[in-house]
């Protein structure tokens, strides 16, 4: 596990329920945090020496759970050493970095997996199964929303380190969901986007709210809503409208439990702003969001020598679409996606 922060915690939650794997070592850029992370998850070793970890002969799979600016250099090192690797979203800060990662990983001949949780979430997978069975006819329009009150870590607010604001952080989920629902063979060909800083003027130079419209080769549409200013915890919804029916998913607002508590009583849900009053706790977040399913999938692919259903090619496509989105924000016009 390369990283010991927020997403690494979720990956460990997912891996905790995957049979036949052991996390042998944790790399962390901060020795103290790395030791704490390793102790919490019973990882036998923690280190700040990345080279030593990559050179080990007993590791079958490396999971990149590091900040965006580290994805490309770490991934290229792994590719040069011909290591199986998985990288968190977004694959890179921009199309050019993602292309370098994809080409290097492909050249290595080893497994590369794009850890986009949205398309591994049980409700999203079930929606795709209904689509494949012809349940709603031809998919015409997808609407996705990913929003919360803002990132948990300081580096997310620095667009030089991340590549962008709320659209870069959140639209990668919505884009891949749209590609999954519409079918990846039906390419996104053109985008229109709006983005602005409406609240967090003193924290970031990036947008804290954005809208992104994707036009597919078939003429179908996807509409993505992104926000870093929404209160009440993570809001994660999808609507899929077809020629003969519709599907709706709502992981965080449609939970199977609702509570009213007059005082704080423990963790509620990711990005929750308060933990008392009326709350909607989300049981088994790692399962609901797709972390367990994706980690199981990547572990099995590494073990069996199989190609994952989400690879760096998918991550590269998402970065291409995001780059076109940022160009549209500047030009206020529809922009063709360059792959």
pLDDT the model gives residue 28: 97
pLDDT the model gives residue 6: 93
In the predicted structure, residue 278 carries a pLDDT above the cut 90: no
pLDDT the model gives residue 145: 97
pLDDT the model gives residue 69: 97
Nearest-5° angle of CA 110, CA 119, CA 9? 75
pLDDT, tens digit, for every residue of 82-109? Answer: 999 999 999 999 999 999 999 999 999 9
Report the alpha-carbon distance of residue 230 to residue 244 in Å, rounded.
33
The stretch 9-38 carries a mean pLDDT of 96
Sorting pLDDT into bands at 50, 70 and 90, what band is 249? very high
Sorting pLDDT into bands at 50, 70 and 90, what band is 150? very high
Report the alpha-carbon distance of residue 45 to residue 24 in Å, rounded.
7
pLDDT, tens digit, for every residue of 283-297? Answer: 888 999 999 999 999
Token pair 């003027």 is found at: 201
pLDDT the model gives residue 110: 98
Q: Are strands 335-336 and 188-196 parallel, antiparallel or unpaired?
A: antiparallel
Tell me the domains of the chain and their CATH numbers.
6-117+294-312 (3.40.50.720), 119-286+319-336 (3.30.360.10)
3-class DSSP state of 31: helix
Q: Which two tokens stand for residue 116?
A: 């986009």
Token pair 């007059």 is found at: 262
pLDDT, tens digit, for every residue of 116-130? Answer: 999 999 999 999 999
pLDDT the model gives residue 256: 86
pLDDT the model gives residue 255: 86
Nearest of 138, 27, 35, 116 to residue 309 by alpha carbon: 116
Sorting pLDDT into bands at 50, 70 and 90, what band is 270? confident
Output the average pLDDT for the chain. 96
In the predicted structure, residue 250 carries a pLDDT above the cut 90: yes
The stretch 310-322 carries a mean pLDDT of 98
């Amino acid at each position: 596990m390369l990283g010991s922060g927020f997403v690494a915690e979720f990956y460990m939650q997912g891996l905790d329920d995957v049979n036949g794997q052991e996390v042998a070592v944790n790399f962390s850029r901060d020795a103290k945090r790395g030791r704490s992370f390793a102790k919490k998850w019973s990882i036998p070793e923690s280190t700040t020496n990345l080279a030593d970890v990559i050179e080990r002969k007993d590791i079958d799979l490396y999971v990149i759970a590091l900040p965006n600016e580290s994805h490309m250099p770490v991934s290229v090192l792994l590719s040069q050493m011909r290591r199986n690797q998985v990288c968190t979203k977004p694959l890179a800060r921009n199309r050019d970095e993602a292309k370098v990662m994809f080409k290097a990983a492909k050249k290595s001949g080893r497994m590369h997996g794009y850890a986009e949780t949205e398309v591994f979430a049980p409700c999203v997978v079930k929606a795709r199964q209904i689509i494949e069975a012809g349940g709603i006819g031809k998919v015409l329009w997808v609407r996705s929303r990913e929003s919360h009150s803002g990132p948990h870590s300081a580096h997310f607010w620095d667009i030089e380190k991340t590549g962008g604001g709320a659209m870069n952080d959140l639209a990668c989920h919505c884009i891949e969901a749209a590609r999954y629902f519409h079918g990846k063979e039906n390419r996104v060909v053109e985008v229109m986007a709006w983005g602005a800083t409406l609240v967090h003027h003193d924290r970031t130079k990036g947008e804290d709210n954005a809208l992104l419209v994707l036009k597919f080769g078939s003429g179908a549409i996807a509409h993505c809503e992104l926000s870093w200013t929404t209160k009440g915890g993570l809001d994660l919804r999808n609507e899929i409208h077809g020629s003969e029916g519709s599907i709706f998913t709502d992981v965080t607002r449609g939970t199977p439990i609702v509570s009213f508590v007059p005082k704080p009583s423990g963790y509620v849900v990711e990005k929750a702003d308060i933990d008392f009053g009326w709350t909607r706790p989300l049981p088994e977040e790692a399962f609901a969001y797709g972390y367990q399913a994706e980690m199981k999938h990547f572990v099995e692919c590494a073990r069996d020598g199989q190609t994952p259903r989400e690879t760096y090619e998918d991550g590269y496509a998402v970065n291409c679409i995001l780059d076109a989105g940022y160009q549209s924000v500047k030009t206020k016009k529809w922009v063709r996606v360059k792959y």
